[in-house]
Structure formats: structure tokens, C-alpha cells
A = this chain, B = another copy of it.
């Protein structure tokens, strides 16, 4: 899923840690990322730290202005809509390919990950369950997409997933806290599987697109409540 040869060197570690801190909200959108603060937080020199920031810049999670340092990339409702739309289009396109090209083992993978997802225990320790559900949900969609047979398309998909991640976090909490919303998602997933197995690529395309667009209103509401208009 991720790049494999990422061994340990300070720049890589800082990259991973900062990426997590940004997507999980430890740093807020627009926050200035002071070199001095980062050095202390990640116990690292300025050189490797800059490397990490450079990579996150290429991934659009961090912005930079020359001689004026780095910031956490801003979030906005406009960007939310654009990212989700682009992602939905991409995922729908990939889904068509997967239906057309996916063989028996693809089908098996989809069914298997769907099953695993459906078996996430109903609310106990909310935060832990949230993590488990999210991982399995991602695995399910990954299994579907992987049928497209294109490593580059899978990379593009990963790119968009990364960029959506901060917005997705909001949706995720909403989802898991509301048993009803979760039930509704599960229903969507069932329908999705039916269409995928039916082999009707265009129907699958349409349904996947809608599935991916659904979270937008929910997240918009949350962002508005937080004044991130």
C-alpha cells in the first residue's frame, strides 16, 4: 500500500510523524510550522526536518513560501467539494475497470473484506472501534479498486485519499457515533457488492460515484459549524 523501501532515517521518521500529526489534527489547518518547534517536537535537526516538509509539500499537505517558512495546508468547503468530487470521479472510473477486468480472486477479495467489515463489533470502546472500522472500510474499498489492474491509477487514488484524509476524519467520527448512519452505510455497501458482482459496469460506476459523494453534506455541516467556511 505504502512505499516499501522507507527505512529509518530521521527525515523519513519525521515525515511519517508529521503527516500523522497533520491528518489527525494535532496541527490545525493554516498553523505555522515553526522550525524551532518542529525540531524540538521531533528531536531532529533542521536539515532532515526540511526534507520531510518538502515531501509533504509535494503531497499538498503543507504549503511553503520561500524565506517565510511552512504552514499546514488550509482547509475549506470549496476544497472539500473539489477533492471529494475528483475522488469520486476517479474511484468511479477505477470501479468500471475493476468490474471489467477483475477476475475470480478479485471477487473473492471484495467479498472477504466486506465480510470482515460487517463484523466490526457494535459500539464498545468508541475510539478503538473507530480505528478498526476505518481500517476495514479502507481495506474493502481498496479491494474493489485493486481490480483495475493499474498501479498508476492506484497511486493516484492513494494521492487523493491522502488529501481527503483530514476531511474524512470528521465524517468518520460522525459515522461511528451515529449507529443509524453506520447502518445506512452498510446498506450502501451491500448494494455496491450486488452491482459489482452483477458485472454491470455502468451501474457500478454510478453507484460508486454516489457512495463517494454522500459524505459531502455531512462534512460541510461540520466545517460550517467550526467556521471553516
**Residues in A lying within 8 Å of B, measured CB to CB:** 5-9, 11-12, 47, 50-52, 54-55, 57-60, 63-67, 82-83, 85-87, 89-90, 93, 97, 150-153, 155-156, 159-160, 163
Judging by beta carbons under 8 Å apart, are B156 and A86 in contact? yes
- What is the CB-to-nearest-CB distance from A38 to chain B, in angstroms, rounded to a whole number? 15
Which residues on the B side are within 8 Å of A160 (C-beta)?
152, 156
Q: Given the known inter-chain contacts A66-B5, A93-B93, please indicate yes or no for A163 contacting B152, CB distance below 8 A.
A: yes
Partner of A5, one of B65, B89, B152, B163: B65
Which residues on the B side are within 8 Å of A60 (C-beta)?
155
Judging by beta carbons under 8 Å apart, are A66 and B6 in contact? yes
Q: Nearest 10 pairs between A and B by C-beta?
A: A58-B58, A7-B66, A86-B152, A54-B54, A51-B54, A47-B47, A86-B153, A9-B66, A55-B58, A82-B152
Which residues on the B side are within 8 Å of A59 (C-beta)?
58
Interface pairs (20), CB distance under 8 Å: A5-B65, A9-B66, A9-B67, A12-B66, A47-B47, A47-B50, A51-B51, A54-B58, A55-B57, A58-B59, A82-B150, A82-B151, A85-B150, A86-B150, A86-B153, A89-B153, A90-B90, A93-B93, A156-B156, A156-B160
Partner of A159, one of B93, B97, B150, B156: B156
Besides A51-B51, A85-B152, 9 new A-B residue pairs in contact (Cβ under 8 A), listed by A number: A7-B65, A9-B67, A11-B50, A58-B58, A82-B152, A89-B150, A90-B90, A156-B159, A159-B159
- What is the CB-to-nearest-CB distance from A212 to chain B, in angstroms, rounded to a whole number? 13
Judging by beta carbons under 8 Å apart, are B64 and A5 in contact? yes
Which of A57, A58, A87 has the most chain B CB atoms closer than 10 A to its own CB?
Answer: A58
In the bound assembly, the distance between CA atoms of A5 and B68 in angstroms comes to: 11
- What is the CB-to-nearest-CB distance from A62 to chain B, in angstroms, rounded to a whole number? 11
In the bound assembly, the distance between CA atoms of A207 and B47 in angstroms comes to: 48
In the bound assembly, the distance between CA atoms of A155 and B89 in angstroms comes to: 14
In the bound assembly, the distance between CA atoms of A57 and B11 in angstroms comes to: 13
Which residues on the B side are within 8 Å of A159 (C-beta)?
156, 159
Judging by beta carbons under 8 Å apart, are B67 and A7 in contact? yes
Of all chain B residues, which has the CB nearest A83? B152
